Each structure stands twice: as C-alpha cells, then as structure tokens.
Amino acid sequence: MNSGPTTPTDKKLTLNNNIMVKIKGAIVVNTDRCKGCQLCVVACPKDVVALAPKKVNVHGYPYVEAARPDDCIGCASCAIVCPDGCITVYKKKMED
Ligand code: SF4
Ligand code: SF4
C-alpha cells in the first residue's frame, strides 16, 4: 500500500514508456545559392552532407548535397552554420 510520492525508478519507467518515437531528419539544399564552403560538412555529426562530386551550380561553385540522407537526425547544425541560409531541415516522427 504505497500512496506516497513516486520513486525515481517509477519516473524512469514512465519516461521510457513514453519514448516510443524516433526523430528522422531530411535536408533540402538550395544548390544555386551554395558556395561550397563546406561549413555544413564539418558541422554535421552524422556525415550526411558532402560536396557533390564533379558538379558546379549556375554560378560555377561546387555545392553540397545529402550524400547519406538516411543518417540525418534533423539536428539542424548544418542549417545553423550555413552563412547563406542554403539548407532547410525537415523533421519527421517515426513510430517504433
Ligand atoms: S540536420 Fe543534422 S544530421 Fe541532418 S544533415 Fe544537417 S547537420 Fe547533418
Ligand atoms: S555552409 Fe551553406 S554555402 Fe557552405 S557548403 Fe554548406 S550549404 Fe553551401
């Protein structure tokens, strides 16, 4: 008969029961605005972003693309560091 406050163990179980959703990310690069500086490449913790091999945009700059899109976690680090606002990040909840 325990009607007292919830123990830390009980809270952890409740928390774990609520974590049934994974966040998946996706990026869209405005390749015509990209200058290929690769700040986003360095910032990405999952090695998703890379220079598109042997390609240039309409201004003659190399540009980046999502080389490993399935690994994106939607953290937005790439979009935050881009000085030209070239990257848009989308997040999607995935049911377990
Ligand atoms: S949102 Fe995060 S994981 Fe996805 S490409 Fe950008 S930096 Fe990498
Ligand atoms: S930080 Fe921006 S401009 Fe630089 S490579 Fe990445 S998307 Fe292109």
Which residues lie below 8 Å from residue 52, measured CB to CB, with a gap of 6+?
Answer: 31, 62, 63, 64, 65
* pLDDT of amino acid 34: 98
Ligand nearest to the CA of 84: 2
Alpha carbon distance 50, 60 (integer Å): 17
Alpha carbon distance 88, 8 (integer Å): 39
Torsion angles phi and psi, residue 57, rounded to 5: -90, -170
For residue 93, the CA-to-ligand 2 centroid distance in Å is: 26
Ligand nearest to the CA of 35: 2
Residue minimizing CA distance to atom 6 of ligand 1: 78
Whether ligand 2 lies within 6 angstroms of the CB of 84 is answered as yes
- Average pLDDT for runs of 10 along the chain of length 96: 46 56 93 98 98 97 98 97 98 81
Burial class, 27, CB count within 10 angstroms (exposed 0-12 / middle 13-18 / buried 19+): buried
